[in-house]
Structure 1
Amino acid sequence: MAHVLQLDNETIEVVKTSRRGSIGLKVEPDRIALMVPKQFSDLTIESLIANEKDWLLDQIRKHQAEMPKKLVLKPGHELLLFGDKILYKEDHKTSVKSLQVILEGSCLTAYMQTARALKAPEITARKKVIQFLTQQLQGYLMEKVPLFAEQIAVSPTEITVRNYKSRWGSCYPDGRIQFNWRLAMAPKDVIDYVIQHELCHLVHPNHSPQYWQLVAEHCPDYETHKQWLKENGTALIHF
């Protein structure tokens, strides 16, 4: 269970956990969480935060400073599509009704010369690129999820793509599985691992030895794919 407190201009989610006698701070792009022992009362937590205010703010600032900045999309940038490099380009001459991005060979071109002037063309172009990547991932999931689900002998109820900031996928007790759109930038064998990872949670809703044994049965090289995400995931998450 969690509740939220304000510390200067920062919103902190306080999460009570089974940890004993110590606190933990987790700073993510869209979330700051303070983990505290579950036996701590609300009064104890508020007193702790008040006493450690300077230290907490200092740690938050340090973590935020170390985070990669969100990529500013500009012509000439290299993007990834299923692990392959594609070049982002902008066309400011061809007239189009609305801003659109089209994959042409190894180039992803944004057609910017719209009938009506855009207030924030860079932001709109970024949204269109994200939309393109999302659609690419959706198409791949439609192809692969049924195949892997049959192999693992599970039946997911719904497959969707959403904007996660700190995870690649989620599996819910009712059979719904959600994937991070940024997976469209990962190699296909890495995406396959994430699909199998989430589908295996429909059998074992945990990370027990039995769960990892099932993952290994269907994805023997899963450790390699986990390592790829560990090494490259931060860059993808901050796109």
Structure 2
Amino acid sequence: MDLVYTIKRSSKRKKLNITVERDRSIVVHAPEGVSDEKIQQVVDSKRQWIYEKINHPQKYQDLPHPPGKELVSGESALYLGRQYRIELVKMGLSEIKFSQRFLIPATQGEKREETLREWYIGKAKEKIVPRVKKHARELGVNFAEVKIVDNRYRWGSCTVKNNINFNWRLIKAPMFVIDYVIIHELAHLIEPNHTPRFWNIVRAQSPTMDKAKAWLKENGQLLEQVI
């Protein structure tokens, strides 16, 4: 099977580099003087690595979505793995309220998306941070700090300073998926690489690991959308 890729050349670049984006597209970053033939040779030599990246659980394929979905009454927004109806409230509401549906002040106009994003971030801090502390105790590991961040390309990360970061968009996923991502990052404090030992640690703490990875693979793109 031929690999389809995009070439981006730059006069500032000295080495050729291949990246597989979250949507599984392949991008070759190359110095200006490198020929198409040379790039093809390098891609062919990295074929196995590229296939592994393409099949990584945090990559996803485009899903068909209705065009023009907007933050209006009658639409729905994702929270903890479920879609909840949106209702715009014209009077008596100054901030988003959630009660088995999203009640959003209609007065905010174009700021509705930003307001919903801030609500998600607040809920991520409220629900994810305590889960990190809980799982860290169970795993017997210590971390420096946990942060909720805006990172479009990773659900979670563990830094060299033992800080644990989580993408705020995770709050849209079911709790078993959130727990899996938390355990995955905390397990890196024990085993930095994705070795068999690493996956044994994760699986022991997250029995639904395979189900969570499959959910992310199928629904990852949904988490990236505003609603």
TM bin, normalised by shorter chain, reads 0.7 to 0.9
The reply on whether 1:234 has 2:221 as its aligned counterpart is yes
Distance 1:162 1:70, change over 3 A: farther
CA pair 193-15 structure 1, distance change in 2 beyond 3 A:
farther
Aligned residues: 193
- What residue is the counterpart of 2:4 in the other structure? none
Q: Which residue of 2 aligns with 1:56?
A: none
Q: CA deviation at 1:14?
A: 9.0
- Segments of structure 1 that go 5 or more residues without pairing to the other structure are 7-12, 18-23, 37-41, 53-65, 115-120
The aligned counterpart of 2:112 is 125
| Cα distance between partner residues in 2 of 1:207 and 1:32 | 22
Distance 1:170 1:231 in 2: 21
2:185 maps to 198
Deviation at 1:94, TM superposition (A): 3.4
Distance in 1 (alpha carbons) for counterparts of 2:91 and 2:170: 32
Change (3 A) 1:221 1:139: same
Aligned to 1:183: 170
> Alignment partner for residue 121 of structure 2, among 122, 130, 134?
134
Normalized per residue, the structure richer in strand is 1
The code of the aligned residue for 1:205 comes to P
TM-score by length of 1: 0.69
Query: Residue 74 in 1 paired to residue 72 in 2?
Result: yes
Residue in structure 2 matching 1:167, options 139, 142, 154: 154
Could you say what secondary structure the match of 2:127 adopts? helix
What's the RMSD between the two structures over aligned residues?
Answer: 3.2
Render the CA deviation track for 1:66-121: whole Å, top value 9, x for unaligned: 6767853222111122123321121223374xxx2121x2121111336xxxxxx2
- Closer, same or farther in 2 for the Cα pair 1:237/1:94, shift >3 Å? same
Q: Find the aligned partners of 2:148 and 2:14 in 1 and give their Cα distance.
A: 28
The two structures have a TM-score, normalised by structure 2, of: 0.72
Residues 19 and 26, structure 2, Cα contact 8 Å, conserved in 1: yes
Equivalent in 96, 103, 123 of residue 101 of structure 1: 96
The residue matched to 1:113 in structure 2 has which SS?
Answer: helix
1:184-221 per-residue CA deviation (whole Å, 9 max, x = no partner) reads 11111110111000100111112111111111121122
* Preserved CA contact (<8 Å) 1:14 1:34: no
The one-letter amino acid paired with 1:169 is G
Percent identical pairs in the alignment equals 26
- What letter matches 1:173 in structure 2? V
Provide the rounded CA distance (Å) in 2 between the counterparts of 1:32 and 1:76.
37
Match of 2:145 in 1: 158
Query: Which is higher, the Rg of structure 1 or of structure 2?
Result: 1
Q: Provide the residue aligned with 1:84 in structure 2.
A: 82
Q: Helix, strand or coil for the counterpart of 2:131?
A: helix
Are 2:110 and 1:110 equivalent residues in the alignment? no
Of the three residues 192, 197, 202, the one matched with 1:210 is: 197
CA contact (8 A) 1:14 1:35 kept: no
- 1:44 shift after superposition: 3.3
Q: Which amino acid aligns with 1:194?
A: V
1:35 CA displacement? 5.0
State the one-letter code of the partner of 2:123. Q
Quote how far apart the aligned CAs of 1:48 are.
4.3
